[in-house]
Structure 1
Amino acid sequence: MSYEAGNLDMALTAVVGDDPLLIHDLRRAFLESADRQIDMASRARDEAAWKQALWRLRGLSGSFGILPMIALAEEAEQARPGDAKMLKRLRAVLDELAAG
Structure 2
Amino acid sequence: MARGGKDWETQEELEAYLEEKRRQKAGIEGVLRRGTKILKEGHRVKDLNPGGRRREVPLSETQITRRVREYERLGGRVDKLIGLPPRVREIALGVEKE
Q: TM-score, normalised by structure 1?
A: 0.46
Higher helix share: 1
Greater length-normalized contact order (CA 8 Å, ≥ 6 residues apart): 1
Alignment TM-score, normalising by the size of structure 2: 0.47
Larger radius of gyration: 2
